Amino acid sequence: MTQGAREAKAPRRFQARYRRSGASFSVQDRDLVAALDNIRNTRGAATYGSGQDFSESFAPAAEADHVPTALGVYVKGLAHTIGFKDSLQNEPEVEVPVPEHPKALTLEGVCGAFAVEAIASRRMADVHQRATDLVEKHSLEENFCIVDLATVKALFDYHRVKLPRVRPHYAVKCLPDRGIISTLAALGAGFDCASQGEVELVTSLGVPSERIILAHPVKRPCDLRCIAEHDVPYTTFDSVSELHKILASKVKVKLVLRIRADDPMARLPLGAKYGAPLDKVPELLSVAALLNLDLAGVSFHVGSSSRNPDAYRNAISYARQIFDQAVSMGFHMHLLDLGGGFTGSFNPDGTVTEAPSNFDRVREALDEIFPDDGTFPGLQIIDEPGRYFAQAPVTMACLVYGKREGTNDAGERHMDYYITDGLYGSFNGIIYDGLDLPTYFLQPNKVAPLSHQDEFEKQKISSTVYGPTCDSLDCVMRNIPLPELSNGDWLMFPDAGAYTMAGACDFNGILCSKYHCFYVWSEKMTSTATKKELEDLVYQNDRPACTLVQNR
């Protein structure tokens, strides 16, 4: 059959539509009918199944009547395989609102600037519904995340109740998200910035620089100039060399001695790189005195994801000894900085838990070792939580855009999927942060709404999920049981804000560092999923995605 004859018989544009979970996707391809004709002519209709499937698959069947019904099964399979919303041919008009700078650092101002939408609760089901609406409304096909600012407030309120004497300084490095920074600023928090870039980000949002500590013990020249330019009041140090550098820079800044005080059980101990060993402290105090520098306090970081609350007590008592010694040398010591290390999540009843860290034990240690009795006039106590504030508010969504069927070593059916984010993107945490994949909870958007889970449980297939770059190491999850996914589905990762997007890069020219952020305000605090849902839906890895040796 000639091309002209084929076009006369077939509509120029063939549209296959199917609906799942109330959302519609379509595949449009002017050449599809021609391809189908070709298949019919070469292999014969009988191979391809029944007309029943065909008529169900293509609702405006009138247009397609000329196509042999037997081919419907094939077309249906094709549609499921493609699964994108017209975007293979036409670039979608993705109109994602760009947040304004908040006019006033109040919660109202922040909600207005970041177009915050209310959702019923922080449960996965409600976030899922919002994600579904966003995909549909904005024709999304790139990574996006939903950031719940009410969760940030709940965490801040809990911190205030449990540690009333401690003013949190959010560690911006953990997730430099403007909505989270602005919300915390509106609530009265300060900020731990590690660099010029972070100082500029925080001040650009209207935060006064007096609320910032540049808590990097080894500063680059540009960071020192930035301290001077923005009048950042405090910075940390842990070496004689840094004291010399600060003196030479002529920067007027109060100094906070960072000491080493590790929690050996912390998931990510930091002490090998920063923090003066205690036996070096007398020398550092003497040099600071000789150089006439303004020593104002002591800081430490017990390690990220601390597991032993007594690590804070030990560190606080070391700090007390140094305070006493420094005061006896004539320094005006007035800043105690407890660093980060805390975790934050939600119980089903909506209360916050910081376990395995323990704010009560920290508060008790503070009250005992640094009593609020004027021993140190003007004493300010701060901490620098990163993970505590950033992890729980964020749900990341990544598109499944490719799949491959095969068999595993046991000869069983196995699926490979390719998603739009990976090890060079937000899943860099697998390398740098000991990202705890077994606790991750996957919600294939539009494929497995929570209520239909039973059906999907039956169909789980051993699956590997790869990131988008050409590096074969770029694997996010290996050999996990997943329901069969289609191109166009989304994997959802709740509680994913800490040390994920912050460290992403654009390797292979794939823009993993750019997430579309959508802001919500949950009316009700609760855990992400019930215990039963977690049992059903958390997909466990039976081995790590990739074998990597962590440099600790």
Residues 421 and 503: beta-carbon distance below 8 Å: no
Q: Which is nearer to ligand PLP, 140 or 270 (CB)?
A: 270
Q: Where does residue 528 rank: exposed (0-12), middle (13-18), buried (19+ CB within 10 A)?
A: buried
Say whether 145 is catalytic. Answer: no
Binds ligand PLP (CB under 6 A): choice among 171, 181, 326, 502: 171
Question: Footprint of ligand PLP on residues 322-341 (CB under 6 A)?
Answer: 339-341
Give the x-and-dash track for 200-219 against ligand PLP (CB under 6 A): ---------------x----
| Gap between the terminal Cα atoms of the chain | 68
Q: Does 192 bind ligand PLP (CB under 6 A)?
A: yes
Residue 351 to residue 262: CA distance in whole angstroms: 29
Q: Does 384 bind ligand PLP (CB under 6 A)?
A: yes
Give the x-and-dash track for 386-425 against ligand PLP (CB under 6 A): xxx-------------------------------------
Binds ligand PLP (CB under 6 A): choice among 67, 174, 276, 502: 174
Q: Does 238 bind ligand PLP (CB under 6 A)?
A: no
- Give exposure, 493-502, as e/b (b: 16+ Cβ within 10 Å): bbbbbbbbbb
Q: Which is nearer to ligand PLP, 315 or 510 (CB)?
A: 315
The active-site residue out of 193, 398, 470, 475 is 470
Q: Does 142 bind ligand PLP (CB under 6 A)?
A: no
Residue 327 to residue 319: CA distance in whole angstroms: 12
Q: At its nearest, how many Å lie between ligand PLP and the CB of residue 268?
A: 7
Residues 212 and 199: beta-carbon distance below 8 Å: yes
Residue 413: strand, helix, or coil: strand
Stretch that binds ligand PLP, among 284-292, 312-320, 385-393, 442-450 (CB under 6 A): 385-393
Q: At its nearest, how many Å lie between ligand PLP and the CB of residue 100?
A: 28
**Three-state secondary structure string covering 87-109:** CCCCCCCCCCCCCCCCCCCCHHH
Q: What are phi and psi of 125, to 5 degrees?
A: -60, -40
Q: Does 483 bind ligand PLP (CB under 6 A)?
A: no
CB under 8 Å to 353, separation ≥6 — which residues?
A: 344, 345, 346, 347
Residue 474 to residue 419: CA distance in whole angstroms: 11
Stretch that binds ligand PLP, among 97-105, 277-285, 309-317, 379-387 (CB under 6 A): 379-387
Q: Does 304 bind ligand PLP (CB under 6 A)?
A: yes
Residue 140: name the closest of 408, 490, 468 by CA: 490
Q: Does 223 bind ligand PLP (CB under 6 A)?
A: no
Contacts made by residues 64-70, CB under 8 angstroms, sequence distance 24+: 64/11, 64/14, 64/33, 66/9, 66/10, 67/10, 67/33, 67/36, 68/40, 69/45, 70/40, 70/45, 70/46
Give the x-and-dash track for 239-278 against ligand PLP (CB under 6 A): -------------------------------x--------
Q: Which is nearer to ligand PLP, 270 or 362 (CB)?
A: 270
Residue 294 to residue 296: CA distance in whole angstroms: 6
Binds ligand PLP (CB under 6 A): choice among 211, 301, 320, 478: 301
Q: Residues with catalytic annotation?
A: 470
Binding residues for ligand PLP (CB under 6 A)? 171, 174, 192, 215, 270, 301, 304, 339-342, 384-388
